[in-house]
Structures are given as structure tokens and as C-alpha cells.
Amino acid sequence: MPTHRSQESGRDVIVVGGGPAGLMAALSAARRGASVRICEQLERPGLRLMASGGGRGNLTNTLAPEAMMARFGRRGRFIQPALAGLGPVSLRRLLADLGVPTFSPDGFHVYPSSESAADVQQALVRAGEDAGVDFRLACPVQSLAIEKGAAIGVHTSGGLVPAGRVILTTGGRSYPRLGGGEQGYALARQAGHTVTLLLPALAPLVIAEPWPPSCAGAALPDVECTLSREGRSAPAARGALLFTHRGLSGPAALDLSGDVSARLQAGAPVAAFLNLAPGRRPSDWLQEIGQWAHVGGGKTVVRWLDDFLPRSVAAALAGACGLPDSLTASRISQEQRRRLADHLAGWPVTITGTGGFEQAMVTRGGVALDDIDPHTLSSRLVKGLHFAGEIVDLDGPCGGFNLQWAFSSGWLAGHSAAGA
């Protein structure tokens, strides 16, 4: 039985999902004069936003747009129109206007000055309400209403909600306790869109070696983690590294987890290497280890390592090299020196898994970009349908990249939908 548009539905916009992309899309569309309704499956909007950055809210960073696009990889150019509409500088200005000033304590990461992501969530909800956005909470969307190749609304448990435009901002599969799941992908497939393989990304890594529990809680400020080469590809990430009971976390590990997830699909563990002092080669370490015997030959190798590594990590590294705790610098053999130097520049670890979607911060994969117009984030397949945020096949590293994409894409999708 055919459905029919309401007389006002041409200027109506429905935003499916009340996360960061959805809140920004709703605000953008409402400020352009559209009548906007958010349908959020949870009883409170923006829970993912409130949890971001460990609750501190790493909202964006200070990179210029070109550099930011490059960090999204080969498909990074797709985000150019969204960044042009709401880049890092204009995002910070918008938030300041909403009563949420921001700061960058290290010159790169950007947080709300209060260091409370909840302040951002509350400001966006309040701004949306002031602009007339209708928040429908605990209101999951069951299906899209599509007629003659155009989106004309959504179906909820309460029936058809007509609209001239629909924006899907449902997020990905990550953080299911905060609303992550398959809902948005099912709606996209209903509209004929392809959804690429979904994998956990920005997730901790699980390793096979026995030493992680002894190092749990230890951290290093600057480590480079490199995956074994496959063909011409050897993905690497650099940053802080946190040792956990099961393996590795921190940006150096999290930024590689999407690539690890893809490789684990083959069913075999993934080899990786930890450079504990990026830029230093085995030959550099050989020279330094050789000096230990002259400076303090009676000092154990573990104590020497303890000078620049946490004690637990120093002991684990020595054990991985087969060096006894009692071995002194004056008695270390040439072979033991080479083994230690190789490990310091490339400590081999065997990755057997990730924290999965339960611990992943984002989803790798999603609605294929080929059928989305980057200038409007509208569907090329169904008129009146738009996408924003994590639901699309685009993800970035740690450091505010994914939230910036959520805000920028939400702003562009809302602006385009209201003006279409």
C-alpha cells in the first residue's frame, strides 16, 4: 500500500541516531530553517560523545585540513568538502559560541577547557532544542520509507514518520553498550547501498607471549609498532604504548588495530615489532651496550635497561632475549649483545586478536563511499537520503580525527539536507 507525504514533509528532516554526527546534523539543518526530528534508540543522546577521550573529549586536533586528510589514508580526500564546511578552527569557534571553549595542552590534541566531554554533549543538545529540534528518544527506526526512488520518511514502532530528507548517523558496531550495532547498516542495505567488511579499529591488541601480565600498567611515551611486511605493505604507528594484562594498548597499538583486524581474517596470528626508541637502529644499540661494560661492568643488564624502561618492561625484555637476571654488563657475550640490540630496535610480538567491537573505539568499514556524493553526503541511489559519521567506510587514527569527521560530516549532511 503506497505511503503519502505530509504537506510539510518536504522541509522535514529526520536524523536517525543522536551521536556526535547526529547532534551536529540536526543543529545544522535546524539553523537552516528545516523542521528537524532526531530518532535515537537510546534514552539519552550523545552517550558516545560523553565517553570520548576517556570522558575528557578529544574533539579534534590542530592539524591543517590537508594534513588531516592525509591521516585518513588513501580515501582521505573524501572528507575535503566536509572539512571546508566545518574544519577544526570553525568547530572550536562554534563550540565557543555555544559556551564550550576549548584548549590544546600539547599543541596538538584539542579538548574542552573543562576537560569534560559531557559539556559538549549538553551544549549540542541545548543548541538543538533552542533551534527547534524535536528529540525522540528510545525510538529505534525499523526501516526506511522509500517511494519511487526517494526517501519519504522512516518507520518506527509508532508507524510512519514522514520527511523530505533522512540522514543516517547511527554510528558503527563499536561500543555496543553505547548504542553501537547493525541498525544503520541494515537501513543502508535496504536503500541498496553496499556495506564493506566491518572490523574493530582503535582497539587494544592481544598477544601470545607470556610476559604481558608482568608488565600490566607500564607505559612508554614513544614507541613505534610495525606489522610484518605483506607484499609492499608494512603498516606502522608511533606514539605512547600501554602494556595491559593481555597485550598492548595506547596510540601505537590502537592505530594499527584496524590493519591487524584485517590480517587476522586469514586465520593466522600477526607478527609485529616494537621499536622502543624510534630512530635508533640495532647498530646504535650495539655501540651503547658495548659502553656499559666500561662505565659500570658490574651492573646487571636488567639494571642498565631499567635506566630508561619501566622495571617490569626491562625484566620482560631481558627474559625475551634469554638473558639471566644476574647477567652483568661485563659478562654479556657478543651474541647476547646482538640479540638485545635487535629486540630494543624491533622487539617481536605475536598478535592473536584484538579487544573486538566491545573495546573498539571505531569501526573500520561501512557504507561504501562510491555511492555517496562527498559534496553533499547524499546517496547516489536514493534521493533524499544522506549519511554522516562512523556509518560510512572511513576511519582515522587516535587524536580527534574521528570526532572531527563526525562533526564535519554531520554539519555538511544537515546543511545539504535542509537546503535540498
Residue (of 203, 171, 180) closest to 361 by Cα position: 203
What is the pTM assigned to this prediction?
Answer: 0.94
247-249 and 236-243 as β-strands: parallel, antiparallel, unpaired?
antiparallel
Q: What is the pLDDT of residue 229?
A: 86
Boundaries of CATH 3.50.50.60 in the chain?
Answer: 9-198+364-419
Distance CA 69, CA 91 (A): 16
Residue recorded with cell 624491533: 346
For every one of its 420 residues, what pLDDT tens digit does the chain have, with 9 covering 90 and above? 333 344 445 579 999 999 999 999 999 999 999 999 999 999 999 998 999 988 999 999 999 999 999 999 999 999 999 999 999 999 999 999 999 999 999 999 999 999 999 999 999 999 999 999 999 999 999 999 999 999 999 999 889 999 999 999 999 999 888 888 999 999 999 999 999 999 999 999 999 999 999 999 999 999 999 999 877 778 999 999 999 999 999 999 999 999 999 999 999 999 999 999 999 999 999 999 999 988 888 999 999 999 999 999 999 999 999 999 999 999 999 999 999 999 999 999 999 999 999 999 999 999 999 999 999 999 999 999 999 999 999 999 999 999 999 999 999 999 999 986
Distance CA 194, CA 166 (A): 18
Q: What is the pLDDT of residue 4?
A: 39
Inter-residue contact 85 to 99 (CB < 8 Å): no
Distance CA 118, CA 45 (A): 11
What is the 3-class SS of the chain, one letter each residue?
CCCCCCCCHHHEEEEECCCHHHHHHHHHHHHCCCEEEEECCCCCCCHHHHHHHHHCCCCEECCCHHHHHHCCHHHHHHHHHHHHHCCHHHHHHHHHHCCCCEECCCCCEEEECCCCHHHHHHHHHHHHHHCCCEEECCCCEEEEEEECCEEEEEEECCEEEECCEEEECCCCCCCHHHCCCCHHHHHHHHCCCCECCCEEECCCEEECCCCHHHHCCCEEEEEEEEECCECCECCEEEEEEEECCCEEECHHHHCCHHHHHHHHCCCCCEEEEEECCCCCCHHHHHHHHHHHHHHHCCCEHHHHHHCCCCHHHHHHHHHHCCCCCCCEHHHCCHHHHHHHHHHHHHEEEEEEEECHHHHCCEEECCECHHHEECCCCEECCCECEEECHHHECCCCCCCCHHHHHHHHHHHHHHHHHHHC
Distance CA 102, CA 132 (A): 26
Inter-residue contact 52 to 79 (CB < 8 Å): no
The total number of residues shown for the chain amounts to 420
Whole-angstrom CA distances from 58 to 163, 399, 404 are 34, 7, 9
Q: What is the pLDDT of residue 315?
A: 96
The CATH class, in words, for 9-198+364-419 is: alpha beta
CATH 1.10.8.50 for domain 204-354, yes or no, is yes
Q: What is the pLDDT of residue 85?
A: 96
Give backbone dihedrals phi and psi of 356, rounded to 5 degrees, phi first.
70, -175
CA angle 227, 233, 239 (to 5 degrees): 45
Boundaries of CATH 1.10.8.50 in the chain?
Answer: 204-354
